[in-house]
Amino acid sequence: MDVNTFAAYGYFFLIIFLVVGSYSYIYHLYKNRKDSSGVDYEHYSDMALKDDIGDAPVKPISDEKKK
Amino acid sequence: MENRPLEYDYTVAKMFMLTTVVFGIVGMSIGVLLAFELAFPGLNTILGKSAAQYTAFGRLRPLHTDAVAFGFTVSGIFATWYYVGQRVLKVSMAESKFLMFIGKLQFWLYVVGVAAAVVSLFMGYTTSKEYAEFEWPIDIAIVVVWVLWGVSIFGLIGIRREKSLYISVWYYIATFLGVAMLYLFNNMEIPTMLATDAIGETNMGSWMHSVSMYAGTNDALVQWWYGHNAVAFVFTVPIIAMIYYFLPKESGQAIYSYKLSLLSFWGLMFVYLWAGGHHLLYSTVPDWVQTMGSIFSIVLILPSWGSAINMLLTMKGEWQQVASSPLIKFMVLASTFYMFSTLEGPIQAIKSVNAIAHFTDWIVGHVHDGTLGWVGFMIMASLFHMAPRVFKRELYSKSLMATQFWIQTLGIVFYFTSMWISGITQGMMWRAHDEYGNLAYSFIDTVNVLHPYYALRGTGGLLFLIGFFMFSYNIYKTMTAGKRLDSEPANASPMGA
């Protein structure tokens, strides 16, 4: 197998991998709806809407430190 | 000392807002002059024949493209980062003297770099690589500015209170990493003094002129991998960062689907980097690179429309805001132009369409409906949203803003329609031949036919520039004469009549 054939196979399988990866990611997002820390993905919009310096963060970094 | 509550500190954002306006005026004015030079060639010597080298199309063209891309747009990216970054990470620049110093240093080095770029391009120093014309000392200065921005981004992230990074922050990070990689690899160059005259025998080289480290087709491949992704990481990715923050914030509406924003982000990151080959269709690069460039360009419609539709659906049930607020109008039309451009681009990247479109004015039209309609509108809208919050004053005039919107929209329509017609006319005339294969037209035949469209394009550009002056005046008056605000507006920006 010369290097071009090798590159072509590599490219083909990379594309298959990326397609499977991206569809799995879509499936994962819409099935779980929440991330690993239990926050609904849609709540992250509040990071823009409630962005005064006094507003409560959606996921405060200090919580992480307490654990 | 008075114990004041913590506030966001917009010092650096304000500095970059100023350069956004100044470089916008410079870059767009040169653009309008260039458009009229193409329609009326006498303008190439507008200051007399002795100054012709400074006013000729060839000398000014890179000044236009670089001033609007690396002056206006990049300033807009920095200005919005120093505003949005603090807010979504819930941390103030005032909390870190170090980051404040880095921000100011970045600004001043950036201004020096831009000044050096403008002067050197005017004097005729160029690497002659499109959108990468700066000679090597300026490239080094740009890398330093960029690294400082990186320190700012990751420094602010390092002291944040909000653990998750808002989608806009992802896009700003991608801008930083993408441009860093592209810029470094495409600007690998050697001063000709070192290449030809390392021991000082021939006296042929120059310290101020350099040659690319890549040769021939390889150079072209790297150049268009860079060139197309400069469109990706300067004109697309950071502008999406802006719209994902400013449209929800100004309208008070949550993003239609945050999940879709994540999907589109990764989709765009995977796909964009492979599409540059479409600039080299029918050239000497390998056929598979050309086909790959075409295919990835078409796949690119998906993540692009994912973001654009997400933004339009964010306005679901709130469309009366589009009618009542000129600021929302700018953003919704920006998103619409983004959809339009990201459909037009892939169409042009199809090989059979490209056979007509390549090297014609249609390409120029495509670039401008993206840059004027999407980039220009979104940056101006962002500054309009920021102004009342950073200056603590009402926006000076709503009617001026609305008038600007319609003048500029008309200008963009003039621009792209004239370039569609002239581009396709050009493409068809170049290909036309008789039954024996002799070309039906000479080059000058096409020039004669295109004249009215060039004049119309210049007029469209002029309308956009007039609108930009109205924008600048509105921002200036907001800063100096707008009604003072007692508290920061939550959503819709307050506007005077």
CB-closest option in A30, A44, A62 to B164: A44
Domains of chain B and CATH, by start: 11-191+215-481 (1.20.210.10)
Q: Is the dihedral of CA B438, B443, B449, B450 positive or negative?
A: positive
pLDDT of B199 above 80: no
0.90 surpassed by complex ipTM? no
| High-pLDDT (> 70) share of chain B, % | 98
- State mean pLDDT over A41-60: 92
Give me the DSSP letters along A22-43: HHHHHHHHHHH-B-TTS-BGGG
Q: How confident is the model at residue A64 (pLDDT cuts 50, 70, 90)?
A: low
Residues counted in chain B: 497
Q: How far apart are CA A46 and CA B246, in angstroms?
A: 13
CB-closest option in B162, B262, B488 to A61: B162
CB-closest option in B5, B161, B288 to A57: B161
| High-pLDDT (> 90) share of chain B, % | 91
pLDDT digits (tens, 9 = 90+) for B384-396: 999 999 999 999 9
Determine, for residues A41 and B249 on separate chains, whether the beta-carbon distance falls below 8 Å. no
Q: Crossing angle, helix B258-272 and helix B216-235, to 10 degrees?
A: 170
> In what helix (H) or strand (E) does residue B210 lie, and over which residues does it extend?
strand B210-212
CA neighbor of B242 nearest in space, from B83, B8, B368, B11: B83
Q: Among all residues of chain B, which has the CA nearest to that of A29?
A: B259
**Token pair listed for B487:** 């508290």
pLDDT at B450: 96
pLDDT at A4: 85
Task: Look at B260 and A66; give whichever has higher pLDDT.
Answer: B260
**A49–B contact, CB cutoff 8 A:** yes
Check: CB of residue B432 under 8 Å from CB of residue B440: yes
Determine, for residues A22 and B163 on separate chains, whether the beta-carbon distance falls below 8 Å. no
Check: CB of residue B58 under 8 Å from CB of residue B126: no
Determine, for residues B166 and A47 on separate chains, whether the beta-carbon distance falls below 8 Å. yes
- For residue B154, which phi and psi values (nearest 5 degrees)? -75, -25
Give me the DSSP letters along B78-105: HHHHHHHHHHHHT--GGG-HHHHHHHHH
**A63–B contact, CB cutoff 8 A:** yes
Q: How far is CA B483 from CA B7, B381, B395, in A?
A: 21, 20, 8
pLDDT at B266: 92
pLDDT at B437: 94
Close Cβ partners of B37 (under 8 Å, ≥ 6 residues apart): B43, B44, B56, B57, B60
pTM attached to this predicted model:
0.94
- State mean pLDDT over B38-47: 95
Determine, for residues B254 and A51 on separate chains, whether the beta-carbon distance falls below 8 Å. no
pLDDT at B205: 80
CB-closest option in B87, B259, B488 to A41: B259
Give me the DSSP letters along B423-459: HHHHHHHHH-B-TTS-BS--HHHHHHHHHHHHHHHHH
- For residue B191, which phi and psi values (nearest 5 degrees)? -60, 140
pLDDT of A67 above 70: no
Which of A9, A26, A61, A63 has the most B C-beta neighbours within 10 Å, making it the best mutation to test the interface with B? A61
pLDDT at B497: 84
pLDDT digits (tens, 9 = 90+) for B330-373: 999 999 999 999 999 999 999 999 999 999 999 999 999 999 99
**A10–B contact, CB cutoff 8 A:** no
- For residue A59, which phi and psi values (nearest 5 degrees)? -140, 90
Residues counted in chain A: 67
| CA distance to partner chain A, nearest, from residue B380 (Å) | 19
CB contacts, 8 Å: B163 with chain A: 57, 59-61, 63-64
Check: CB of residue B162 under 8 Å from CB of residue A45: no
Determine, for residues A22 and B267 on separate chains, whether the beta-carbon distance falls below 8 Å. yes
pLDDT of B293 above 80: yes
Q: How does the average pLDDT of chain B come out, rounded?
A: 94
Q: Among all residues of chain B, which has the CA nearest to that of A14?
A: B270
